[in-house]
Amino acid sequence: MEKGNKIRIMHNQNRRHFLKSGTTLGATLFATSALSFSYDTRDLKSKKSTDLEYRTLGKGSHSMKVSSVGLGCMGMSYHRSFIPDRSNSISVIRKAYDMGLNFFDTAEAYGPYTNEVLVGEAIKPFRKNILLCTKFGFEFQNNKMTGRLNSDPKHIRKVVEESLKRLNTDVIDLLYQHRVDPNVPMEDVAGTVKDLIREGKVKNFGLSEAGPNSIRKAHAVQPVTAIQSELSLMSRDPVSEILPVCEELGIGFVPYSPLSRAFLSGFINERTKYNPENDNRPTLPRYQPDAIKANWTIVNFLADFGNQRGYTPAQVALAWLLGLKPYVVPIPGTTKLAHLQENLWSGNLRLSTSELKEINDFMSTVTIVGSRLAASRVR
């Protein structure tokens, strides 16, 4: 490999090693020759900052300067089988801040409600120094999702007031519509958020899983700062469908599930057991045993690619995202300090043009087995 083609990182040039084993819900993890790493966490407590680089989402008065990697907090309360000890999750959030991360993502739907309360408590010591994101757009009864969308203007206002209380803050830095509601004109949604911005309760507007038409309609009423949608090596449609619109309008892009719900990290396999009461993966075609086995060639590739450079499969997957555009900011989630460190070190990784081509060329030969969603959604 040419010297100029190596991934560069600003701190800690020592070889990084991957955990040989882990657990999901106290169950199964794998042993495979491709992932023959161990992981050194000795410097976790002593390291104060990764000096993360910063990126800009949006433009003009509705831009946000954020760390190149954010923290998705959902899995600390919702949809990831087990719920960690509360003090552990607070420690992870605060450690992320200590290490230079300033971009935290939650939503009323995560729990529901409990994740906002957790995040609000965790960020309290440094609230004014970070950027906080939450979302509206679902309907709930008896603390459970009904399955219905609701972006009625009155409902948006109700959600914002309740989220502000749970988050223990007086303003939301970035408010997303969680999913496009086909029953409410996008112009009405954007107009309501515009009013909330004027009132000082919200600073910036975002959309999640929105298509080009919805983005354009919203942006014409209230400038959109960021689009949050699933984007990873396993789910690349936004590269051709959404990023060109973001580029044209000056909107940032925030990939959720950038490690494909842990698949690209190599920490789940066809024998992994999930808690169906608190995990959406058993309902998704891509996480069925046969699909996982068929798609495992991608994990093997990432492991081989990373082995040559001293990085983990997850770091390579995140570095690929960061190499797409300067306004792309992934928000991997984690409940473990070791994985937090791993993810944040990715924030300063830069793949060369030839390395990006190598990854893209490989992915062009792969047919992904299993759709990412159980059903289509309005965009």
Positions annotated as catalytic residues are 110
Q: How far apart are the first and last CA of the chain?
A: 43
DSSP state of 242: T
Which residues contact residue 298 at a Cβ distance below 8 angstroms, ignoring those fewer than 6 apart? 233, 234, 264, 363, 366
Element (H, E) at 240: helix 237-241
Instruction: Look at the alpha carbons of 136, 139, 141, 143 in this order and tell me if their dihedral is positive or negative.
Output: negative
Contact, 19 vs 41, CB < 8 A?
no
Helix orientation angle between 353-363 and 289-307, rounded to the nearest 10 degrees: 160
How would you classify the pairing of strands 205-208 and 174-177?
A: parallel
Show the DSSP H helices in 15-152 as ranges: 86-98, 114-123
- The residue behind tokens 């906002």 is 116
* CA pair distance 311, 316, nearest whole angstrom: 7
Element (H, E) at 45: none
| DSSP SS3 for 197 | helix
Helix orientation angle between 86-98 and 114-123, rounded to the nearest 10 degrees: 50
Q: How far is CA 114 from the centre of its chain?
A: 18
Among candidate residues 343, 331, 338, the one with its CA nearest the CA of residue 73: 331
How would you classify the pairing of strands 174-177 and 144-149?
A: unpaired
Q: Is 312 left (phi over 0), alpha (psi -120 to 50) or beta?
A: beta
Q: Which two tokens stand for residue 266?
A: 């190599």
| DSSP SS3 for 166 | helix
| DSSP SS3 for 8 | strand
Show the DSSP H helices in 11-134 as ranges: 86-98, 114-123
Contact, 207 vs 214, CB < 8 A?
yes
